[in-house]
Structure 1
Amino acid sequence: MTESVRGRARMLAATAIGASLVLLPGATGAQATSPAGHAGPAGQCYDRTVATTYEETRIDTPALPGGVQVPSRLVEVGGFAPFVARLTADLCGVRSVREADKLLQTRGAELWRTAVERAQGKRWMGSIERYDDRPLYWSRLTGTRDLRQWTPRFPVTAAARASLLKTFEYASRGIASTDFSSSRTVTRVLVSGFDPYQLNGEIRRSNPSGASALQLDGQEYQVGARTVQIQAVMLPVTWSGFDLGYVEDAFGPHLTRNSRERADLIMTISQGGRARMAIEQWAGAWRGGSADNNNEGTPELVPPVTNWPQPSTNPEFIETTLPFQQMIDAGTTPWPTALNPRICEWTGNTRPDPAKVSCHDNGPSADAQAQAGGGGNYLSNESMYRSNRLRLALGATDVPGGHLHISSLVYPQDPLAIIDAPFAADRAQTIEQTVALVKAAGAAVS
């Protein structure tokens, strides 16, 4: 992310944070246009035959027999339906790409800040409990779908539409608002979580790492004479999003040597195995190609990015520098916390022969070619690899960095229930333990 993008986000913060999600009676937004360019009711500037991403098609996932349509129901019970309707209507009233960009910055920041305030109990809305990350996910996805199908009265090039999508994504994921204090008495901690994923098999999925990010964003606490500040972002579960530089744009501005808001610790967080919290010792340079939220994936080396410095030679493995022992010693509950030293590698220049993969806990061999880090070779591993590859390339070797895998969730036995008491309690305790582990890491570097 450039300084101009972050500066623009700061300028909009005051209006975005204070914006209301409530549509006044009779309010329909500015005058809209139809796909043909003629004036019409708000919301009629869309061509719903335009292709969307595979991920966005799930918005209309049919309900199970006798049940509700899960995505729209989650938006409704989360209290975000007015936001979705308002953005759909307001896009029909803008008169230029520049005006659309400003609108999307404002609405995206509003969506993120409202989700954070709701999660932290600072704003009461909807009827579902505050730890739920799913209303934010489906609301954002509805917005990106609308942007792809938006047909305003003025021309929009493919490049301009892609830029508008990125504006909305970065604002609604918190990437455009990771502002820290520059005080020398502040310890700055930057973390990331993830969207829900594996939705083909379970449309009700939540992601406790993303829900933890909502709990952590903007939190402050004291460690002796120092104040620890935490900022959080939400990453997509798409290879294409990572290829566009979402990870580097989120962490990069806080890893440059001359940044007045330089991080003191970075941590990527994702959902891992059931009933355990694993601090991954190693991240690998290989992406396994498992299907992402767009049902895409190709086995290959993690590609470089062009807008941030990269090491002259990409490391096959990157080792954590998180204060893992202090995190373990914090004694958080209910799940055990441990360092995971597992790796999978090829040796003897045998990549990518599947028969030649060796997995062990002994660290990389001298001639290792990465096949998987401790957390596998999906996007969680890649979030650690990319953020720490950039950290090393920028010379931020004094900034601890690494990845935390947290316990996965068990969903309601009733297939028609989007939430029940055991599921909610399980998710809440996993989130609270994650928050405690991040705070322990922040205390350790203070």
Structure 2
Amino acid sequence: MRTGLARTCALLTVPLIALAGCAEPPEEAAPPATKASPAAASAPPTAPVLTASSPTVEEQRLDGKVPQELLRRSGFDAVAPDFVRELGESAGYESAERAVVRHGTALWRRAVDRVQGRGLPGGDLARDDDRPLYWARLAMSRELRAWKPDFTLPPDDRVRLLDRLERTSRNQEAQPPAVLDRDRVVMTGFDPFTLDDEIRTSNPSGAAALALDGTEITTPDGRRARIETVLFPVRWDDFSAGTVERALRTRLPKATLFATVSQGMPDEFDVERYNGARRGGAPDNLKVSRLGLAPVDDPTAQPQWTTTSLPYKTLTTVKTGRFPVRDNTHVVEAPAKDGGDPVPRKDGPVRDSRAWAGGGGDYLSNEIAYRATLLRDRLGLSVPGGHLHTPVLEFGPKNTAELTDPVFLKNRADIVKQVRELLRTALGAAPDTSGSSG
């Protein structure tokens, strides 16, 4: 999901500015992120911005041939009708909320079980596919948005129901079991995106989240950890409203390691060393653009940059799979004066510089990395964490219409396998906290 920064000579998305050449190494690395007050660190973020009117841009894509085929060939075409039947039996808001929570949670569990080989596949679509979850959730939200109950449902209550559906079907509300004898690894993934360019798009970070949720990894020295995953939408306004902080605020203090993951450059993984505070404004899945500083609590103490605490030297030297893993230290600083050009840096930002694009660009992958590491710093945690960009998940060169092909399936399987191995390798380099997470 790196829309804002290429490897050597940056091309920024919004505004479209080609930067000629590459800058000299910086004089000094940026300082650690500034901590906010304890009150700011613990303040609950607001709910995601949702509306209770006509179908959204995302929901309007549902009627296309590809989304319908993905639902049919996975058996997930039955999800929304089953949801509507129970929703229609609701006598009031409380029973409607119970139905939403039950079906949202069941959708996540069904998607995880299908990917991990439990239960019937429901169709001939490969089990490790992340796309049925995305489209089934949209089918449910569209039905909930249009639902006309027999009781009075104020718009604000409908928005709350939509919010519960989003959170439960992304595993954001789950309370993982206590694991006193092993570590915890928290991983996040994303929905498919750029769907107007390629409606068949899958997101390898989402596929990895489904494949790894609830599974265990063991390091060569015998350390065990449970992986806990959540998914996030590709929508600016959900991030503005604090969806990342709300989902991770209680998870990070219990984690031994965390990694936000998204799709990045072709044919390589990247460990993003620096994350920037600025949004570049590329359209999201709702075709919404947002440009400027990422809105956070206590903006007066908002740093321009945050840094990874993942063991990047280990991750980039140990063999973890088919794809090379790069230590990406490139960033782009804002112009030093009005009318000037953004300044690319090969070795991270200089002190007191303003962010234009992080190593992961200026889109939502950079922003989730920024928000998660800022939350780490504001909570005063020493847990290793940061962002991994996966290779782009590509179809075979001759496939312009089919949902899958052998190249696509192998690419996805290899990426997911390497994500798991990268987490295992990072865990092996992390401090041992097993027995203390509760």
Settle same-fold status: TM greater than 0.5.
yes
Query: How many Å separate the matches in 1 of 2:329 and 2:322?
Result: 22
1:178 Cα deviation from its structure 2 partner: 4.7
For 2:99, the equivalent position in structure 1 comes to: 103
Amino acid at match of 1:441: A
Count how many residue pairs are aligned between Structure 1 and Structure 2.
379
Query: How many Å separate the matches in 2 of 1:52 and 1:265?
Result: 38
For 1:81, the equivalent position in structure 2 comes to: 77
1:221-246: CA deviation from partner (whole Å, max 9, x where unpaired)? 33345321110011100001112222
Amino acid at match of 1:228: A
Matched, 1:150 2:153: no
For 1:136, the equivalent position in structure 2 comes to: 133
For 1:41, the equivalent position in structure 2 comes to: none
1:123 Cα deviation from its structure 2 partner: 2.6
Conserved in 2, the CA contact under 8 Å of 1:311 and 1:392?
Answer: no
Conserved in 2, the CA contact under 8 Å of 1:311 and 1:393?
Answer: no
- Write out aligned runs for 1:45-84 (5 A): 51-61=54-64, 69-84=65-80
Conserved in 2, the CA contact under 8 Å of 1:180 and 1:188?
Answer: no
> What residue ranges of structure 2 are gaps of 5+ in the alignment?
1-41, 45-51, 433-438
Match of 1:367 among 352, 359, 376: 352
Q: What SS does structure 1 have at the residue aligned with 2:206?
A: helix
Amino acid at match of 1:401: G
Query: How many Å separate the matches in 1 of 2:224 and 2:138?
Result: 35
Single out whichever of 132-141 and 143-152 deviates more from structure 2: 143-152
1:409 Cα deviation from its structure 2 partner: 1.7
Q: What SS does structure 2 have at the residue aligned with 1:268?
A: strand
Conserved in 1, the CA contact under 8 Å of 2:271 and 2:326?
Answer: yes
For 2:367, the equivalent position in structure 1 comes to: 382
Query: How many Å separate the matches in 2 of 1:252 and 1:139?
Result: 27
Q: What SS does structure 2 have at the residue aligned with 1:175?
A: coil
Backbone CA RMSD of aligned residues: 1.9
CA 1:244 to 1:368, structure 2 compared with 1: closer, same or farther past 3 Å? Answer: same
User: TM-score by structure 2 length?
Assistant: 0.83
Match of 2:247 among 239, 247, 250: 250
Conserved in 2, the CA contact under 8 Å of 1:189 and 1:265?
Answer: yes
Query: How many Å separate the matches in 2 of 1:400 and 1:349?
Result: 35
User: TM-score by structure 1 length?
Assistant: 0.81
For 1:116, the equivalent position in structure 2 comes to: 112
Amino acid at match of 2:80: V
1:388 Cα deviation from its structure 2 partner: 1.2
For 1:192, the equivalent position in structure 2 comes to: 188
Match of 1:161 among 158, 161, 183: 158
1:56 Cα deviation from its structure 2 partner: 1.1
- Write out aligned runs for 1:208-357 (5 A): 208-223=204-219, 224=221, 226-256=223-253, 262-305=254-297, 310=298, 313-348=301-336, 350=338, 355-357=340-342
Query: How many Å separate the matches in 2 of 1:384 and 1:417?
Result: 33
> What residue ranges of structure 1 are gaps of 5+ in the alignment?
6-48, 62-68, 257-261
Conserved in 2, the CA contact under 8 Å of 1:330 and 1:437?
Answer: no
Match of 2:198 among 197, 202, 210: 202
Amino acid at match of 1:155: T
CA 1:395 to 1:203, structure 2 compared with 1: closer, same or farther past 3 Å? Answer: same
Q: What SS does structure 1 have at the residue aligned with 2:375?
A: helix
Query: How many Å separate the matches in 1 of 2:313 and 2:127?
Result: 31
Q: Which has the higher contact order (CA 8 A, sep 6+)?
A: 2
1:312 Cα deviation from its structure 2 partner: 5.2
Single out whichever of 269-278 and 417-426 deviates more from structure 2: 417-426
Query: How many Å separate the matches in 2 of 1:221 and 1:423?
Result: 26
1:349 Cα deviation from its structure 2 partner: 5.4
Matched, 1:443 2:436: no
For 2:124, the equivalent position in structure 1 comes to: 127
Conserved in 2, the CA contact under 8 Å of 1:178 and 1:232?
Answer: no
Query: How many Å separate the matches in 2 of 1:116 and 1:414?
Result: 27
Percent sequence identity over aligned pairs? 37
For 1:45, the equivalent position in structure 2 comes to: none
Amino acid at match of 1:359: P
Single out whichever of 289-298 and 428-437 deviates more from structure 2: 428-437
Query: How many Å separate the matches in 2 of 1:366 and 1:329?
Result: 28
Conserved in 1, the CA contact under 8 Å of 2:218 and 2:424?
Answer: no
